[in-house]
Structure 1
Amino acid sequence: MTDAAEARAEPWPAPRAAHPVDAVVTLPGSKSLTNRALLLAAVADGPSVVRRALRSRDTTLMADALTALGSTVDASADDWTVTPGAFGTAATVDCGLAGTVMRFVPPVAGLSTGRISFDGDPHMRKRPVGEVLAALRSLGVEVDGDALPFAVRGTGSVPGGTVVVDASASSQFISALLLAGARYDAGVDVRHDGRSSNSGQVPSLPHIDMTVAMLREHGVEVDNGDANRWRVAPGPVRAVDTVIEPDLSNAAPFLALAAVSGGSVTVRDWPRSTTQAGDALREILTTMGCEVELADEGLRVTGSGTLLGIDIDLHDVGELTPAVAALCALAEAPSHLRGIGHIRGHETDRIAALATELTALGADVTEHADGLTIEPTALHGGVFHTYADHRMAHAAVIIGAAVDDVLVENVATTGKTFPDFAGFWSGLIRG
């Protein structure tokens, strides 16, 4: 189904949890880990396997992009085999709504000898990428354009060197340059200068930590000892088979279901140590009054029947904001979510979208430049618009589990990171 057809489809009735939900859930793999693993495999010194790869629109777009550049990605089985190839032909890359494709692939496209054109869904043209493109120019890559659609004209190599970027809008600006940096003649020395933003800080630092950890697993030398500076030495990228962890941010609605229904939900195979931002759910849900236990089977969350308000800075884990905001709208005390101005540049302006949609269902929400204040009030049913944003759909189904007659517009957008999410969710609640 096309995006336009999905948008015209009838809103999906979110099932209400009439009883405490007791379930054990196995989640698909992490999108963030899968797309980083695919890209590193495509520039490695030999074939490798990405095990338990997430099969979703975003990861398929990444596989297609790397194939267009000249690699071979065999995604016919659960484990995907990637064989690097010569990046020697002109190609067109469809970014869809995948920020990782729009930002991570251009630095690799600089290694091609062809003209690589990039475009995506209409909303994608509004998402920031100019800092990455400007950085590539300063590193010796020819780039046509400053936003989608744009093109990279490769010469087969990139001089590399030192580059200064303002990554206040997205940590992906940093990761994009680091992931390709080892293949540049002089490597890359990335320095963040956030003087143009209010906070000056890089958001979602765990995602950069994830990138650094994966580079090191591939034998790449990375120096991140100085604040706001990351240096990647030139050299080969070792072919490594990678096992993808479950997507912990995708766990948010399922663990929230335990909280709102007063039940107990276990997410299998929760890692003891991880760079994923979703691991912060353990502390967040504990603060909101849930019982949280990391056991051998996985992470188990048990709802207490009462949701407490929370005052929290989500700067480093902004992707969790929609799910947390939905829980706050159901809490018994006020909540303040801060430090998340950067999520205005995600799939949609998530701060404005959450304020609009929660208010439409009766919530008392105040929108701030970098966050939200949510006061306790009775909610009612209605249509919750998702703006083609999978995290907004997660917020909608959490509300729908506790409130009658919530209708989710374009629930199919959850396919970005979780195929057949709606069917799986309904089975948990009604099963």
Structure 2
Amino acid sequence: MDFQGDAVVGVNGHAVTTRAWSVLFASTLAFMMCFIVWMMFGVLGVQLREDLHLNGTEFGLLTSTPVLTGALMRLPLGAWTDRFGGRIVMTTLLLVCAVPVFAVSYATQLWQFLLIGLFLGCVGASFAVGTPYVARFFPPERRGFAMGVFGAGTVGAAINLFVTPSLQAAYGWRFVPKAYAVALVATAVIFWLASAPDPGAGKAKGSWLDSFRVIRDPRVWRLCQYYSITFGGFTALSLWIPQYLKSEYGMTLVAASAFAAGFALPGSVLRALGGALADRFGAHAVTWWGLWIAWMCLFVLSYPATDLVIHTIDGSTTLRIAMPVGGFVAISFILGIVFAFGMASTFKYVADDFPDNMGIVTGVVGLAGGLGGFLLPIFFGALLDVFRVRSTCFMFLYGIVWVSLTLIYLSEVRRMRVIG
């Protein structure tokens, strides 16, 4: 690791350069802006659903289409980061994606939004660029914390829930993508000025084919499983909760988006804490216990509003069981926290187990998480159309987390006990 030429700042006894902090700041800012744009349809889609008369499945497809491209592009962009360096790849990504973002303001039909969404979704791949880029500036014992701070750029999901509905209410929805396109260009300039050349650029060993061979390692697929739950669930619910609150509790879009931030905000800003916990207690412990807490939260959220008719000696009486909005916000807040911890701990695994192939492994794992974020809103919409129960989205996630806990137990927990 090359730290020469920089002033050194002490962090809990570990040496971290001022250049590293500058790179971390610039990368987190860029990732945050990308995430705002990536989640944009989660808010704009509520108005577009009414304007275009979309059903639940079509709405899920609209909001998740950018997530698909962001997932698929993480693999090549991760490999390109290993080859060309994070500074060049991130700057290019920000500038190129400003074009389709601007084009959203001129779309009028569903197919146009879907097509443009495929292109603007590339901003979601910025995570596969920034993660290995940032990690190369920090010593191994501080990478969990550094990647947690960088991952906190997902706070863009919460910022989107505050800023987008406000801009939409003040200037109309077509103004929003124009403003975000300009913001992407400005962010590209700031990033280039504040970042530094990637010390790992061009150091990937072997051919491109050799780089991809690492995905045959079974550990990579276990990490894909973990991240498809934590990041996929976080992304999907960040897109879905605003319209859920609007429909379930009769809120305005602005109010629903603000309450939805109760899930997205802790799920973003606490990734740094999750990374620090993974540094101290290990990635496995944080992932394992985080999923157990998520499973319990989803169990409570899964129960739909129910009216029980009780026959008494004085006649019939009705008992209503429903989740109050305050309870929903509180539980979703906890769910956001444990998803944040799980996202951070997953990439602690990556940094520890694959130091020479962080770009490609980050791309593969990020691809799995992004595919989860793409598919889940579509499944949410389809379940809503079929069963007509809004809480089916949480029922579905509850089942997925339970299966995943079982698989983690079989592949890691029981194995460690046998070895021990």
More strand by share: 1
More helix by share: 2
Q: What TM bracket, shorter-length normalisation?
A: under 0.3
TM normalised by structure 1 equals 0.24
TM normalised by structure 2 equals 0.24
